[in-house]
Structure 1
Amino acid sequence: MFRDCSQPIDSGMPTYPGDPEVSLTAHATHESDGYSVQGLRCGSHTGTHVDAPRHTEPDGATLDEGDVGDWVFEAQLVDLAPFDPREPIGADAFPTDLDADVDLLVVRTGWEEYWGEPRYRDHPYLTREFATRCRDAGVGVGLDTFGPDPTSSGDDTEVEPAPDEPKGVPAHHVLLGGELQIVENLRNLESLPTRFTLYAFPIPLADGDGAPVRAVAEWD
């Protein structure tokens, strides 16, 4: 079986604070040109996307380094929903039954429910300790959130960060610094089996620090 786990790309879709806005417009139409072409403007971390190590590590690998097969993952689902806004995910949530051949841990927080709402910024986040457990196990991370680190709150969100909430992108540094991939803004994770294959082939951007993907889960 297959399931699309990607957020559709469209004008006005949610973007990480400060990232380029997404614009999808009609460039050519059947009525005026005899064919259809759409114009797309977006950032490299639009919608469901992968982070290459170069995203946060100056000397990290880019998308065009390595093999295309690096984006086919033996995935294990960890369903941790529900969470409170901006709740940390500690090392105690790391699975004790991690299969030996797994190379991507897909963490379901349930936060895709808020896609398109200001509250989506207030997603749970991975602690440095959880990310370190992933690095030590050699597994990357996929999430149904903007990313593994806290996202800044906006003027239209109601939740203030806790005083001890980490600053910057420590979980990114642990994972990408360990040359492990991150897949962000996944959806449709509910009721997936514990084990599946996740295909997340990025658009082949030259020297890419990340790129949108069509993320598809497959299982028997």
Structure 2
Amino acid sequence: MHVDLSQPIETGMQTYPGDPAVAVRSHATHDEHGARVDAIECGSHTGTHVDAPAHTVPGGETLDAYPIDRFVFDAVRVDCRDLGAREPIPAARVSEPDPKPGSATGTEPDLVAFWTGWDTHWGTDRYLDHPYLSPEAAERCADRGFDVAVDSLNPDPTPTANAGDDEPEGFAAHQALLGNEQLIIENLTNLERTGERFELRAYPIALESDGAPVRAVGVDSADRSERME
């Protein structure tokens, strides 16, 4: 089974506060020009996208530095739906992906997908007040070599009027992960349709940049096994 985990790119869609607005408009039409062409304006972190180290690390790698297979991940889904608005994801959650003896894969994952369920708030102000990775959780992912994906706007707290005084400032999770050359995928959706262990394919457009939109697809382990036999 293949599951589309991507938010659609469309005019006026939600973005990180201050990022470029998104516009998809007609440039040419069949009636006037004999072919349809749309003009698309957006930032490098539009919709479901991948962050490269250059996003927060001066001199960090841009997306073009990675081979295409770097964007195929053996992912484990960690259930964080019990967490509320602006609540930190504790480091203890990162321990959950450890494979059990005799498991189907018997290997550590490449990526941890934190399933908060916050994609249900996509397009609303509440989407900005998502749970976030505690600095300790981000450091643990970096230490274990895990890339990270979230079904929210940001692995760090997004600044809003609801921010608490005890929240970490800036981009601590980004710095911990991207500083260790672990990739970050943001704004996933439909994680409830994947298994606990799945293959995540998130190919960015061929762009020499700090990030780029991806078409994120989840493939369950059964489909992968059948193709390998």
TM-score range, shorter chain: over 0.9
Aligned to 1:153: 160
For 1:62 and 1:211, the matched residues in 2 are separated by 10
Counterpart residue identity of residue 110, structure 1: G
Counterpart residue identity of residue 76, structure 1: V
Tell me how far 1:90 sits from its aligned partner. Answer: 1.1
Aligned to 2:131: 124
Aligned to 2:174: 172
CA contact (8 A) 2:78 2:97 kept: no
Tell me how far 1:32 sits from its aligned partner. Answer: 1.3
In structure 1, runs of 5+ residues without a counterpart are: 155-159
Greater helix share, structure number? 2
Aligned to 1:197: 199
1:1-220 superposed matches below 5 A:
1-99=1-99, 100-153=107-160, 160-206=162-208, 208-219=209-220, 220=222
Is the partner of 1:190 in helix, strand or coil? helix
CA contact (8 A) 1:82 1:110 kept: no
For 2:92 and 2:202, the matched residues in 1 are separated by 28
CA contact (8 A) 1:78 1:95 kept: no
For 1:22 and 1:88, the matched residues in 2 are separated by 29
| TM-score, L = length of structure 2 | 0.91
Counterpart residue identity of residue 195, structure 2: P
Identity %: 50
Counterpart residue identity of residue 213, structure 1: V
Is the partner of 2:174 in helix, strand or coil? helix
Tell me how far 1:148 sits from its aligned partner. Answer: 0.5
Deviations 1:26-62 (A, max 9, x none): 0011121111000000000000000001100012111
For 1:28 and 1:59, the matched residues in 2 are separated by 39
Deviations 1:52-99 (A, max 9, x none): 011000121110102111000010011110321111111122233424
Deviations 1:128-160 (A, max 9, x none): 100011011110100001110001116xxxxx2
Deviating more after overlay: 82-91 vs 173-182:
82-91
CA RMSD of aligned residues (A): 1.1
Deviating more after overlay: 87-96 vs 165-174:
87-96
For 1:96 and 1:6, the matched residues in 2 are separated by 25
| TM-score, L = length of structure 1 | 0.94
Tell me how far 1:112 sits from its aligned partner. Answer: 0.3
